[in-house]
Amino acid sequence: MKKIVIALDGYSSCGKSTTAKLVASELGYAYIDTGAMYRAVTLYFLEHHVSLTNPKEIRDALGHIEVEFHHNPKTSRNEVFLNGLNVEDEIRKMYISNQVSEVSVVPEVRHAMVAQQQKMGRKRGVVMDGRDIGTAVFPDAEVKIFMTADVDTRARRRQDELLEKKQLVNLDEIKENLQKRDHIDSTRQESPLRRAEDAHLLDTSHMTIDEQVEFVLEKAASHILSNQMALEQN
Ligand code: DC
């Protein structure tokens, strides 16, 4: 069966990665968390004191950054490696969340990440989540979903996720971070977060994970089916 690209875009912490991961595993597709790539770049920039106003420094630094995903059979997770080092836990910390949107507005950073993401998905058969997948990375994605949820729900979900990793963060701090990132992500010059015209809207405020996964799988199945019917008719 012809493999497709499923693009999941939307605001921070509305369940994109959880949904994308489950959809990918259901379809036997690869899952690519593009936010993790921007987080890994942010970690590198912070560790190497890269100035965001110095394009040459940025270009040099990007030349030294290799971001990869490796499957960990113990956790069944795809974990992020920065230059060969597992940074999965480090990049989820609040100090990275507080800087990542500023790093992701830098055009050089976006160009480098988008090129890598396009390479990762060139054989199709991927579920990719992020902010600009359906608009800039794969504008030709067969299925596009734009996810949203009210900010209080998102902040509570994020707090639970952090608690699971033994990080206790105040709800207001999380909410402020989400709102700030949403603002920067949606108003930046280069490929801002916006709903693609052909994206299905998915508001997860009152949905369970199973319902979200079902929604995406149903859109994928109906695309694959209508494609097959069109092929049979020709
Ligand atoms: O999905 P996330 O919250 O881990 O993403 C972290 C940040 O990375 C997000 O605030 C904006 C940026 N990002 C982006 O600009 N483009 C993407 N495709 C994915 C994430």
Helix-helix angle 55-63:34-47, to 10 degrees: 110
The residues lining ligand 1, judged by C-beta closer than 6 Å to any ligand atom, are 12, 34-35, 38-39, 100-101, 104, 130-133, 181, 185
DSSP single-letter state for residue 90: G
* Banded pLDDT at 229 (limits 50, 70, 90): confident
Strand-strand pairing, 126-130 and 143-148? unpaired
Please report the atom of ligand 1 found closest to the CA of residue 181: 10
Count of other CB atoms within 10 angstroms of residue 25:
13
CB distance 88 to 80 below 8 Å: yes
Ligand 1 center to residue 193 CA distance, Å? 9
CA angle, 6 then 9 then 11, to 5°: 155
What are the residues facing 145 on neighbouring strands?
Answer: 8, 200
Does residue 140 belong to any structural domain of this protein? Answer: yes
Does residue 34 belong to any structural domain of this protein? Answer: yes
Does the pLDDT of residue 195 top 90, yes or no?
A: yes
The span from the CA of 159 to the CA of 32, in Å, is 23
* Banded pLDDT at 196 (limits 50, 70, 90): very high
The residue whose C-alpha atom lies closest to atom 3 belonging to ligand 1 is 12
* Banded pLDDT at 76 (limits 50, 70, 90): confident
Does residue 49 belong to any structural domain of this protein? Answer: yes
The whole-number average pLDDT for the span 37-54 is 98
The whole-number average pLDDT for the span 155-163 is 94
Please report the atom of ligand 1 found closest to the CA of residue 38: 8
| CA distances to 74, 120, 174, 230 from 125, in Å | 24, 10, 34, 20
The residue whose C-alpha atom lies closest to atom 13 belonging to ligand 1 is 35
In 3D, which of 166, 160, 133 has the Cα closest to residue 9? 133
Ligand 1 center to residue 208 CA distance, Å? 23
CB distance 211 to 23 below 8 Å: no
Count of other CB atoms within 10 angstroms of residue 211:
12
Does the pLDDT of residue 230 top 90, yes or no?
A: no
Does residue 234 belong to any structural domain of this protein? Answer: no
User: Which three-class secondary structure state does DSSP give residue 6?
Assistant: strand
Does residue 130 belong to any structural domain of this protein? Answer: yes
pLDDT (0 to 100) of residue 122: 95
Q: What digits encode the pLDDT tens for the residues 122-156?
A: 999 999 999 999 999 999 999 999 999 999 999 99
Q: Specify the number of domains making up the chain.
A: 1
The residue whose C-alpha atom lies closest to atom 5 belonging to ligand 1 is 35
* Banded pLDDT at 231 (limits 50, 70, 90): confident
Does the pLDDT of residue 78 top 90, yes or no?
A: no
Task: Specify the DSSP element, H or E, that contains 173.
Answer: helix 171-187
pLDDT (0 to 100) of residue 150: 96
* Domain that residue 181 falls in: 5-228
Please report the atom of ligand 1 found closest to the CA of residue 33: 1
CATH classification at residue 159: 3.40.50.300
Does residue 133 belong to any structural domain of this protein? Answer: yes
Does residue 233 belong to any structural domain of this protein? Answer: no
Q: What digits encode the pLDDT tens for the residues 80-139?
A: 999 999 999 999 999 999 999 999 999 999 999 999 999 999 999 999 999 999 999 999
Q: What is the mean pLDDT of the chain?
A: 95
